[in-house]
């Protein structure tokens, strides 16, 4: 099974990178672009187990290492 994990800055947490990219987009003439946030995308393969177990395990991976709950939110998708 393949997991695709998306990690983004928590709402309200300062995101200077997002701000800088937004300013650059505006400078290029993309005035319609707002609320730019930069995050991380992580892919991994999961061996064995059923879907429910893979979901539980991936969630645990996110909580314990992949994301820092103080500053980041995460979500993930599983593909067979």
Partner 1 sequence: MRWGVVTFPGSNDDHDALYALDHVLGQDAVSLWHKERDLKGVDCVLLPGGFSYGDYLRCGAMARFSPIMESVVELARRGGFVWGVCNGFQVLCEAGLLPGALIRNRSLQFICTPVQLRVEETETPFTNQYTRGEIISIPIKHGEGCYIADPVTLEQLEENRQVVLRYVDSSGRATPEANPNGALNNIAGIVNAQRNVFGLMPHPEHAVEKLVGGEGGLRLFQSLITAHADGTHRPAAAVAPGH
From the list 13-21, 22-30, 50-58, the region that binds partner 1 by CB under 8 A is 13-21
Residues 14-33 that bind partner 1 (CB under 8 A): 14, 16-17, 20
79 in Cβ contact with 1 (< 8 Å): yes
According to the binding rule CB under 8 A, does residue 78 interact with partner 1? no
DSSP structure class, residue 67: S
Structure token pair of residue 74: 């995460």
Among all chains, which residue has been given the structure tokens 């593909």?
Answer: 79
Residue 18 parent element (H or E): helix 16-27
Q: Which of 32, 43, 65, 79 binds partner 1 (CB under 8 A)?
A: 65
d(C-alpha 25, C-alpha 63), whole Å: 33
Give the nearer residue to partner 1 in terms of CB position, either 32 or 40.
Answer: 40
In the complex, the residues that contact partner 1 under the rule CB under 8 A are 13-14, 16-17, 20, 40, 65-66, 68, 70-71
């Amino acid at each position: 099974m393949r997991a695709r994990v998306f990690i983004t800055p928590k709402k309200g947490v300062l995101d200077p990178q997002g701000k800088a990219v937004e300013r650059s987009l505006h400078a290029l003439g993309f005035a319609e672009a707002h609320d730019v946030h930069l995050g991380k995308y992580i892919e991994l393969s999961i061996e064995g187990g059923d879907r429910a177990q893979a979901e539980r395990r991936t969630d645990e991976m996110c909580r314990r290492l992949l994301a820092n709950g103080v500053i980041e939110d995460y979500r993930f998708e599983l593909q067979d």
